[in-house]
Amino acid sequence: MYSANDLRKGLKIEIDGQPYVITEFQFVKPGKGTALYRCKLKNIMTGSTMDRTYRPNDKVGKPDLMQRDMAYSYPDGDHFVFMDNDTYEQTTVDKDVVGDLKYFLLEDMECSVLFYNDIPIDIELPNFVEKEITETEPGARGDTATNVTKPAKIDNGYEIHVPLFINEGDLVRIDTRTGEYADRVNKK
């Protein structure tokens, strides 16, 4: 159990059997009375948010969370298979947990998988991944006065917006947190 004094931004807590992360935290000391801890919470499993206020003597549940480094292996229907680097144990993660991150998964990619009561509930990829542009229109010559972008597709059909100088076959770095173009990579 955590006491209210332990609360801070980024802390993972448990409320009514559900894991939450504190996204905003504020300590309030009114003129009269006891201090308050105001928290904005996000449900890790569903993504819903709520506000809660705690008094200094309140207790908050500690969730049974475990973070494990795993390597992505392969897709299996509506699931994705990850392998533990230490025990070689395979774990299947549901497509709803992976979400749009599936477009950035590469074979043998090191990922961090978050488990709640031994159930995978979230994955975290490296911040950047390199992918090849498979489809894009050529940029208009001389249109470089502003930050103009054009749509482009990577090998799995995911569409991103890239600068005009990017052509088909170019290797680009994509930010997995936002799904946006980061920069061009020189081919080796």
pLDDT (tens digit per residue) in 116-143: 988 998 899 999 999 999 999 887 666 5
Written in H, E and C, the secondary structure of 149-186 is EEEEEECCCCEEEEECCCCCCCEEEEECCCCEEEEEEC
Whether residue 156 is predicted with pLDDT greater than 90 in this model: the reply is: no
Query: CB of 102 within 8 A of CB of 80?
Result: yes
pLDDT (tens digit per residue) in 92-111: 999 988 988 999 999 999 99
Residue 112: its pLDDT value, please? Answer: 93
Whether residue 26 is predicted with pLDDT greater than 90 in this model: the reply is: yes
Residue 149: its pLDDT value, please? Answer: 86
Residue 142: its pLDDT value, please? Answer: 61
Domain annotation for the chain: domains and CATH numbers: 2-60 (2.30.30.30), 65-124 (2.40.50.140), 128-185 (2.40.50.140)
CA distance 36 to 131: 48
6 φ/ψ sector (left φ>0, alpha ψ -120 to 50, else beta): alpha
Residue 19: its pLDDT value, please? Answer: 92
- Stretch 43-59: mean pLDDT: 90
